[in-house]
Amino acid sequence: MTPLDSSDNPFFERWTTAEEVPPFDRLKPEHFRPAYARAFAEHEAEIAAIAAASEPESFDNTIGALERSGRALTRIEHVFHLLAGADSTDALLEIERELAPQLARHWNAIHTNSALFGRIDTLKRQADAPALDAEQKRVLERYHINFRRAGAALDPVGKARLAEIVARLAVLGTAFSQNVLADEQAFALPLHGEAELAGLPDFVREAMQAAARERGVDGHVVTLSRSIVEPFLQFAQRRDLREKVFRAFVARGDNGGSTDNKAIIAEMARLRAERAKLLGYADFAHYRLDDAMAKTPAAARGLLDTVWIRARQSALADRDALQAILQEEGGNFRLAPWDWRYYAEKLRQRRCAFDEAAIKPFLDLDRMIEAAFYTAGRLFGLAFTPRADVPAWHPDVRVWDVRVADGGEKIGLFFGDYFARPSKRSGAWMTSLRDQHKLDGDVRPLIVNVCNFAKGAAGQPTLLSFEDARTLFHEFGHALHGLLSNVTYPEISGTNVAADFVELPSQLYEHWLEQPQILRRFARHFRTGMPMPEQLLQQLIAARNFNQGFMTVEYLASAFVDLDFHSLASPATIDPAAFEKETSARINMPEEIVMRHRPPHFGHVFSGDGYAAAYYSYMWSEVLDADAFAAFQDTGDIFDRTTAKRLQETIYAAGGAREPAEAYRLFRGRLPSAAALLKKRGFAEPAPAS
């Protein structure tokens, strides 16, 4: 192992790169183990000193000191987790497996430190002291809640068992995500000749050619990247190939052998339930939601049930229409899940008079990035300037300087990593290399968006589907939450908010993509530069709720199974496959639709605790975002500066400085109902009974 004082380890020096961005060109896998070892030791010493301080408790010598501690570890963590997700190697994956239990044990030891919690608890009982401002009181409250929920008040036996549980869960979550990645990397379906390519538009063929080049082969390759799978299922005429791709996609983590995740799911569910019981909760769902905006599983289920009834009715009506088209074309088979997108595209052409292939030439990635930046400029007065001098982890990564417009105050840096590649985990997410805070000087954020768009052929633009463009806006909404953060303490910076509130800034931002003035300005043909024809634009807007029943059903089914798994009080034995079937039967899931995320590849829930018992959050936040956008519509100006300023101050800039309900009331003056969501999804009126 490299010595801890090794002079060639970039983690042991101050970074002199532009904006002190990590020197990615110098970082190697062998740097991480010694860097983590030193950072763990430094952090442990800092925590011991805080816990053993002889001075009476004060905010600064306890909470302030905790906020300043562990900075070397934080710096390493940001870099490692970005690379492990966006540009992994076998060496990094090995280190990730090794480090997961070490990190869990490290943080568990801190959160269950009795002396440290005693100091925090004493301060909490003095929290009304006039010396603390509102932000300090909130930070103190969050520390007290986090330590209590982590088991700080347990007896020694309980703490010991909890330590075992959290370490094991970390190992399992890492294994789960690596298994899914392995299954995704293992699948590549070559297509040969026009017969196998039949029906596929040029943009799909070009994406598959790019995927083939990425793997060092000629021709066209179907991978399990969602940005290739979904358009393939939408356009491919060969039903047998659609079935093969679909089955591989939904079977990630469910193929038997070393990458099968079912045993991992069963063990995680048992351990999470035991953890909740140790902490005094009936089950993990109650434990998780106690610190969320929803507060109880019943509240979350109430919303899901309300939407499910109408979404399922809508999906069944569409199913019948798809079956009719199938039969009109001479099909003598029943509609199957791998047929839905193919026949839905035909139904869209009938109902809405356009197809996805007609739209994509107008949704060039570069112009959609421009659209996202333009919207941020109109709403929040931001300007984005490309930076070529900032190091990045992959040649495809782009970097922008973010400032207040017209040469104003510097905000931070924004990194965009947009293209799918074998080294990248599937999906799209926002993360950071540095979070904003003002604890010791004005620390500017370094914010990252990671996506998996199919890269255009050499010399050709990358064309997006409308859902891809929506994903870009969604993740950029998260990025703005990090960039616009304006708080003193890291604990409440940026996206450090409740899971069912964190999606509000991202889902709200999606609304601007659908606005005619944005589409007229930026939806231009990639060859001619001509704007999208007005008729096509109006058809696109009119069709935004097309197939909404299907999309809502596949999402809700995943949210239900997540809550069901985590509502088990004492799950002695669990068969995840049988459990999935039971949930599907209970909600009367249409046979022609499969959960958007089946449990064996449900990374939101089983790659870590991020959305465990909280996948409902997207729908909960959609209630908020639909109502929040109505605040702009009510003014008659979707860029109304007064409303935008209030939005920035109360939501985007405030981080976790307030309880979510309080923050939303400050913006809107009240809490919303589900009515705006139902209207947005086209479910305002009950669908016909079926």
Q: Is the pLDDT of residue 409 over 50?
A: yes
Going by C-alpha positions, the residue among 352, 302, 416, 327 that lies closest to residue 673 is: 302
- pLDDT of 473-532, one tens digit each? 999 999 999 999 999 999 999 999 999 999 999 999 999 999 999 999 999 999 999 999
Matching residue, tokens 């019943």: 298
Q: CATH: 1.20.1050.40, 2.40.50.140, 1.20.1250.20, 3.40.50.720. Which one for 10-111+113-153? A: 1.20.1050.40
Residue range(s) of every CATH 1.10.1370.10 domain in the chain = 282-360+546-680
Question: Domain 361-542, what fold?
Answer: Neurolysin; domain 3 (1.10.1370)
pLDDT digits (tens, 9 = 90+) for 290-316: 999 999 999 999 999 999 999 999 999
CATH 1.10.1370.40 domain position(s) in the chain? 361-542
Task: Report the distance separating Cα 668 and Cα 643, nearest Å.
Answer: 9
Residue 47 CB neighbours (<10 A): 20
Q: Where do you find CATH 1.20.1050.40 in the chain?
A: 10-111+113-153
CB 244 within 8 A of CB 588: no
pTM reported for the whole predicted model: 0.91
pLDDT band at 685 (very low <50, low <70, confident <90, very high): low
Half-sphere exposure of 219 (CA within 13 A, CB side): 14
Q: Which residues contact 153 (CB under 8 A, 6 or more apart)?
A: 117
Which sign, positive or negative, has the C-alpha torsion 599, 602, 606, 611?
negative
Taking the mean position of all CA atoms in its chain, how far away is CA 636?
31
Q: 437-454: per-residue pLDDT in tens?
A: 999 899 999 999 999 999
Query: Are 632 and 594 in contact, with CB atoms under 8 Å apart?
Result: no
363 neighbors 466 (Cβ within 8 angstroms):
yes
pLDDT over 70 percentage in the chain: 98
Catalytic residue numbers read: 475
Least confident range from 108-112, 544-548, 598-602: namely 544-548
Q: What would the pLDDT profile of 338-371 be if each residue is shown by its tens digit?
A: 999 999 999 998 988 877 788 999 999 999 999 9
Domain spanning 282-360+546-680: CATH 1.10.1370.10? yes
> For residues 101 and 203, what is the distance between their CA atoms, to the nearest angstrom?
43
Q: How far, in Å, CA of 599 to CA of 615, rounded?
A: 12
CA pair distance 561, 466, nearest whole angstrom: 28
451 backbone dihedrals φ, ψ, rounded to 5°: -130, 180
